Amino acid sequence: MLIFFLFFFNPCVLQLYRECLRRAKYIGQKKYNTELLISMVREQFKKHMHETDPDKIQKLKDDAARGLINHMLYESENLSGRKFSKSSS
């Protein structure tokens, strides 16, 4: 129980979880699959909630944050019509 508390209720992890849920709701409303996306986010966080290795926890947090940043860049590109990332081709 203490491990769950330290992992899930860590303010940084909790904020990340909430932001992932917000993004899932936003994407889901546009693509009409809100419940599926929310359940996928919840499943990923629950899957790793017993992780105790600080390096692995940091990697999981970094991966989730990277996913959020990628989505925000994608949305910005769609709204502005401007490409922010350089393509390799």
User: What are the domain boundaries of the chain?
Assistant: 2-79
For residue 19, give both structure tokens: 């932001």
pLDDT at 35: 92
Give the DSSP per-residue string, 7-73.
Answer: HHTSHHHHHHHHHHHHHHHHHHHHHT-HHHHHHHHHHHHHHTTT---HHHHHHHHHHHHHHHHHHHH
For residue 47, give both structure tokens: 């899957």
Mean pLDDT of the chain: 79
The predicted-structure confidence for 5-47, as pLDDT tens digits, reads as follows 445 556 687 888 888 888 889 888 887 888 998 998 899 889 9
Q: Is residue 1 over pLDDT 80?
A: no
